[in-house]
Amino acid sequence: MLEKTFLRNDATLRDIVRLAKATAVCQEWKEKFGLKSFHIKRVAIKYSDELEGLTLWNGYKQLLRKLLEELASTQTFDGFFVSNQVTYKKKPEKVNMLKEEIKQVITWSSAKLTLVCEAIAWE
């Protein structure tokens, strides 16, 4: 409930999370790497102070960087509300593959993201 309330009260943060979730769906990160929307929301809330005041696109890119930083430093995502709660535990190969995909997506323009997702939708 805390997550829902937090995201409901900040429309820009909610839209940043939605864009990241749409990218994850488009790239099939849940199926390939076990990344769930829960992980994206938790990282967004954890770094909400850094996302505040950014435009949608800049906030989206920053959220992707924060997902990448979390994976790079700990190979997981911190539960945030509970200390030392591991919410994402995958084999190192899977984590490394997800990191590489996030790095690639960070470089995309909004037009490229749209094209990639539209192409996947047509498959």
Give the separation between CA 123 and CA 121, rounded to whole angstroms: 6
| Overall average pLDDT of the 75-99 stretch | 76
Residues facing 86 on adjacent strands: 78
Per-residue confidence band for 1, with pLDDT thresholds at 50, 70 and 90? low
**pLDDT on residue 85:** 62
Q: Say how far apart CA 110 and CA 51 lie, in whole Å.
A: 18
Average pLDDT of the chain?
87
Residue 33 token pair: 């790497």
Residue 91 has which token pair?
A: 């084999």
Look at 17-31, 42-56, 83-97 and tell me which has the smallest mean pLDDT. Answer: 83-97
> What was the pLDDT predicted at 44?
92
